[in-house]
Chain A
Amino acid sequence: MAEAAARSTAVLRGRHDFPEISGRIGAIVLDGRLPRHFWTAFFFCFLLVLVFLYSITYLISVGVGAYGIDIPVAWGTMISNFVWWIGIGHAGTLISAVLLLLRQPWRASINRFAEAMTLFAVAMAGLFPILHLGRPWFFYWLLPLPNTHMHWPQWRSPLVWDFAAISTYATVSLLFWYMGLLPDLAVLRDRAKSRAGQLFYGILALGWRGSAFHWARYQTVYFLMAALATPLVVSVHSIVALDFTFAITPGYHSTIFPPYFVAGALLSGFAMVLTIAIPLRWAFSVEDLITLKHMDNAGKLMIAAGMIVIYGYASEAFFAWYSGEPYERAMMWQRAFGPYAPLFWVMLACNCGALQLLWFRRVRLNMPLLFAIALVINIGMWLERYIIVVTGPSRDYLPSSWGEQSLTWLDFGILFGSVGTFFALVFLFIRILPAITIFEVEELAEEKAQAT
């Protein structure tokens, strides 16, 4: 019993030395002998990449009328996909930057792929505002570029802020991730046996030699970057929330949105971390590096973020009633009992119902169950975003204009295509770069060895 308890609380299990760690992690990348099911899974993701490319081509050549939007609900799945993906990105930044600053040692073995996940999620998210546009080829008009049109972005519009927030977030995430990769790239360069591998990783490693001087510089920059990235965890999703809050549409116009969106982002982000980590540690037998402790902590963070989200739901409903605004009240009523009611109740079942299981330690340590809960919450969070986007405008001020969207194949083609593309990128990342931070796990092992 005591041993089992220790197993689940340890950040690193067993005895490890440096060559063993760098060899094991490096081998995944350098030997390239990946299990068959890795490539099978990659193949299916690649099919979805093709679906994604086809759907985007169709969307741009035919027009945005090909997916579900209409008047009155002129925003649709492109916006909910966008918010969902941005939210997923948040866990990565939280793990790598916030937990770094808080000196949480357990982040070490999962921060790398969490950051990669952030990057890919932001890459997916970044596509959607452009795909959403009626004339996507003019997306750069949102930028304050000097131009011959003689006009500037309209600064009062949250979409302009949004554009800036996302591009900042994407840039910082990329730099932070690459910075953290440098020592490991050098390890791979040194361990690579082929000339091509040595050149490839050598160039990427930017001449890292692991001198004390390098390490000192590295620590300073990494912590500075972490300090820069931390406010972004809050600001990006707050600004995304302002896209809604700023509008006078019932169901959009709500001051609770920024914090509630951030909490929702963390919830969906950790759900996605688990969705990737659980199969990863099983497939590559790295249960001793990514331990049950990580899973347990991620589960705790989910329930913490999830309870804030539930508070958000409750306060939204409460203030709709308390404000006495007939339009807000009617919208809230229609959300729960109108045409979108099935989605609403499924969302509550996912995000409020299934989440409660995580209070139990046994559930958090039961990998199949935890994986299932993570998937359910991913679905629930997508539904939440879709409900926010569509229910407000579908039941706003003038009942004559009330109406619903009818989703087409394109809505689903793009959503599932983006999921497939995201996972295909994750697979490529695992194949090409070390998914677990070599040097930080070595640090952990060293600390552990010194402690005993």
Chain B
Amino acid sequence: MSAIADIRPIPTAGIAALREQLSSGHDMWRSLDEIARTAEFLRFVEAEFPALADRLPSRLDRRTMLKVMGASLSLAGLTACSKARSIVPYVRQPENVVPGKPRYYATTLSSDGFGIGAVVESHEGRPTKVEGNPDHPASRGATDAIMQAAVLTLFDPDRSRTPLKDGEPAAYGDFLGDMAALASRLAGSGGLGAAVLMEATTSPTAKVQVEALRAQYPRLKIFRHDPLATTAGAQASMALFGKALMPVYRFDRAETIFSLDADFLGEGPGRLAYARDFAARRRVRAPNDSMNRLYAVESTPTITGAAADHRLAMRPSEIEAVAAALDAVLGDQANSTPSIVDPAWMAALTQDLRAAGAKALVVPGSHQSAFVHACALAANAKLGSVGSTVEFIESPDEVRSDGDLAALCSAIADHSVDTVVVLGANPLHTAPSDLDVHNLFSELKLLLHFGLYRDETALHAHWHAPAAHELESWSDSRAYDGTASIVQPLIEPLFGGKTIHEILAALSGRFDADALALVRQTWKALDDTAWRKALRDGVVPDSASKPVPITMAPDLGGLQHHPVTANGFDIRFVADPWLRDGRYANASWLQELPRPLTKLVWGNAALMSPASAERLKLENGGIINIAQGTSNIDAPIWITPGHPDDTVTLSLGFGRKIGSVATLAHGYDAFRLRTSGANWVAAGATIVAREGKAEVITTQHHQAMEGRAIIRHTSLDGFRENPGFVREGVPRMPTESLYPDWNYDEEAWAMAIDLSACIGCMACVSACQSENNIATVGPDECARGHEMHWLRIDRYYSGPIDTPDLFFQPVPCMHCEKAPCEVVCPVNATVHTHDGLNAQVYNRCIGTRYCSQNCPYKVRRFNFLDHQSFDKDEAGPEQAVHNPNVTVRSRGVMEKCTYCVQRISARRIQAQIENRDIVDGEVVTACQQACPTRAITFGDQNKRAAKVVQEKSAPHNYALLEELNTRPRTTYLGKIRNSNPKLAQLGEKTDG
């Protein structure tokens, strides 16, 4: 997509023909006009500017011709700028930079506008890996998959590299010139007719700037467009408390949790902290340890539902009825509506909630209606848990807006707005389908777009200016609990992008503004020492919002239950867990990361229950037509056990038409079916089965454990009765072996994975990919089973197909003591190291693949094709993301998890320099570091006090397939659910 890459050599014959025509003695203007229409000219243009060719009208007038010439001039200049230049190494070494030694900087990454603290590893000024910031309340050291991909999107070659004027490259100076004209116009009119469209942000600096803009141009309108925004929580809060407050949950204090369609482990700005607290209360090592209990009612399968001890699947329109029933039961009213929930279930739930009292917690799904939110708030109040397990804070630094995209559209329609500045959002792709944004925006006098990519809106706008990536920017933001942190750049903007603060400053007429100065100005209360400390720690100390005392209006603040008579299908829209609204669609790591429950990659599907699919007589991949209102889309189905019947889950984020990676993906664009007012749930859709099938790509084809003791699980009571339940009914581990045992004089690395803590969020897989330079292979190769992840999370169902239990199991290399792979390699390419690793020597490997054939865990991955680019002439900026401490593998060699041997080596070298042993906890693998629930423990099992030894001494520690006598170093702690004995029992031990 780069300007240089597109240029092909000009066919000499074409030039000769052009020259001949130009020399024919015509009047200059006329001849240009004339030759413009010839085939030679069009060929010439196409060869020189392929991107331009289709934009050239077949009849070219003089003005357009000049424009094209102008473009060619500016492009010619660009070519010169981006040509490879010889560089000189440091003449004088900068202080504190040791080549080969990474440096770490704290910064903040945004998630739906909120900040999550990160520590980014930088090699010689090149950010390569994102880790969580342990001091930041929203991260606490963990990351998620999207954060891991921040370094990949930074180096994305598709990123916008130059301002565009009417879709043609232009100079930034010209952009500023037009901005100056706009600013003076705004100053003259007080902002009349102008509007700014912003995304959700919690940046204090942006808030200050917008308020300043409002003061400067009183008639300027600020609109907010955030396709993933949920407003019901604020509505409920307004109705009940009289002001828009935001809940902060304290799962560390909760005993009994009831989720009303809330995916608090997978969604929302506090998800990492919530997952940490939630899982911390589920660590059971001894029979008298206690556990929290989670009940979940949900309208689409989520990882929260998978973690629940009791889960019910409900149509999204039925959740209100459950909320109403809960409200009635807790209020000791006779429930007027017939309960759609099994009364025994409801009774057990309410009994548990009441017993927990202040330690109970009811969490409403953020996308659910205001009524559901109100019921949950009321339930928490009645249980006395407000102030204990849930606190309320003021929405942190929310920019005051004059409405949403619909309001902007009506303002354009009634001609009160003719100039729009779009900051970051991409409304042309993400607008509800009932808003004719495309045509309305065409009526504008001036449309300015500022964003990372030349997306749909950028190409439609009069001006587009490239944005700086988060890792290139100075900014600030607030976390889910209000904690402020600074965004500091890791690298100079690669493509000359600007931060939102610089654009806002330019709007106010300040063209020399510097983002750092603007951010520093916001935080002028911090003296220089405090500022440096805030930068170093990644948080501004004591900036968390204080809980607000609340008084609650009676009767749910007048919010009413609106019973919906079910007809047709309910549509449940969800944001793709990785691509969100499509903004990360060009990140190949995220495209290829299996979705936690469906294990789908490179595309989305319409999820539905087995019963619904059976009624439509469809198999996986069968095409359905979903009609809702005036729009309809075709989508392949994916049968998802545990999905509510008569409901279809559509995920946003796919179906992008722009982006070299995004367009590779399969899938439909669910935005085409989404209407304003029915952002998350739409009722009454009609679904018709169509002919044909579409390819839906998954990385796991088989979902049942086939009666094998793969994930060993029990209830808490079962564990208390028999702590060694993992040994029950499974073959005994052999103790004899023909091969002699290994001796370990130094370390013996080992890993323990707590299956009770694992929520299947896939952060570890993404972290592993980033740390270990794991290639992405694209949709076609994934469909052929050639994906490369060293660590996978297996997902199994057990029990009835409509209400199954879900299990996750992360499977890295087991690093077997008696490794089957080691004995069959003919060339010694896979060997046992002195510290117990099962190492793969890439340059010895000739690719017989015998090791993979003989690996019972199938954790080895093979470079079937050349998945990495080794040609330095072809290499794009994305090569810079590679970890320099890990070999980039070529075609034909086997690879697999190394327990992050490069990290072990780095710590060992450090320990040897300091003449000491490696301390327990010093070596942290990438998966372990990313894990939000601390499910993974790693260490030296030769040290008696090591954490990993303690974990492995738990009574429910077991090795996968231990009867094969492979003696894995990676072991698992059996899964324990805290199921309510009064409700139907989970299957004991291993499933059948």
Contact = CB atoms under 8 A, between A and B. Distances in A.
Binding between chains A and B: yes
Interface of A: 62-66, 69-75, 132-136, 138-139, 141-142, 149, 151-154, 156-160, 163, 243, 246-249, 252, 326-327, 330, 393, 396-403, 406
Do most interface residues of chain A lie in helix, strand or loop, or is the interface mixed? loop
Contacts of A132: 848-849
Contacts of B704: 399
Contact of B846 (A134, A396, A402): A134
Nearest to A138: B846
A349 B734 CA distance: 40
Contacts of B845: 134-135
Contacts of A406: 784
Contacts of A134: 845-849, 862-864, 891-894
A157 B809 CA distance: 31
B847 A400 contact: no
28 contacts: A62-B865, A63-B866, A63-B892, A65-B784, A74-B852, A132-B848, A132-B849, A134-B864, A134-B893, A135-B845, A136-B846, A141-B844, A142-B846, A153-B826, A157-B826, A159-B848, A247-B854, A326-B707, A330-B706, A397-B858, A398-B794, A398-B811, A399-B796, A400-B700, A400-B710, A400-B792, A400-B809, A401-B794
A71 B852 contact: yes
Given A135-B847, A248-B820, 6 more contacts: A63-B892, A64-B892, A75-B849, A153-B828, A397-B856, A399-B796
Contacts of B710: 398-400
A135 B891 CA distance: 8
A326 B845 CA distance: 33
A158 B861 CA distance: 21
Contact of A399 (B706, B787, B852, B865): B706
A346 to B, nearest CB: 24
Interface string B875-906: 00000000000000001111000000000000
A252 B604 CA distance: 37
A70 B865 CA distance: 11
Contacts of A402: 701-702
Nearest to A401: B858
Contacts of B781: 65
A327 B857 CA distance: 13
A400 B796 contact: yes
B846 A65 contact: no
A247 B785 contact: no
Interface size class, chain B: 35 or more
B823 interface: yes
B823 A157 contact: yes
B825 interface: yes
| Most chain B beta-carbon neighbours within 10 Å: one of A138, A141, A397 | A397
A142 B858 contact: no
Interface in B825-863: 825-828, 844-850, 852-854, 856-858, 860-863
Interface string B695-717: 00000111111111010000000
A397 to B, nearest CB: 4
Contact of A397 (B700, B786, B961): B961
Nearest to B860: A71
Contact of B858 (A138, A248, A396): A396
Interface in B666-706: 700-706
B964 interface: yes
Interface string B923-965: 0000000000000000000000000000000000000110010
Contacts of B826: 141-142, 153-154, 157, 159-160, 163
Contacts of A397: 708, 856-858, 961, 964
Nearest to A246: B824
Contact of B827 (A62, A70, A153, A398): A153
Nearest to A76: B849
B795 interface: yes
A413 to B, nearest CB: 17
A243 B825 CA distance: 11
A71 B858 contact: yes
Nearest to A244: B853
B152 to A, nearest CB: 23
Contact of A247 (B792, B811, B850, B892): B850
A209 to B, nearest CB: 47
A58 to B, nearest CB: 12
Contacts of A159: 824, 826, 848, 850
Contact of B844 (A66, A151, A326, A393): A151
Contacts of B844: 141, 149, 151
A147 to B, nearest CB: 11
| Most chain A beta-carbon neighbours within 10 Å: one of B701, B825, B858 | B858
Given A63-B865, A65-B865, A154 B827 contact: yes
B870 to A, nearest CB: 13
Interface in B489-517: none
B821 to A, nearest CB: 10
A107 B708 CA distance: 54
B827 A133 contact: no
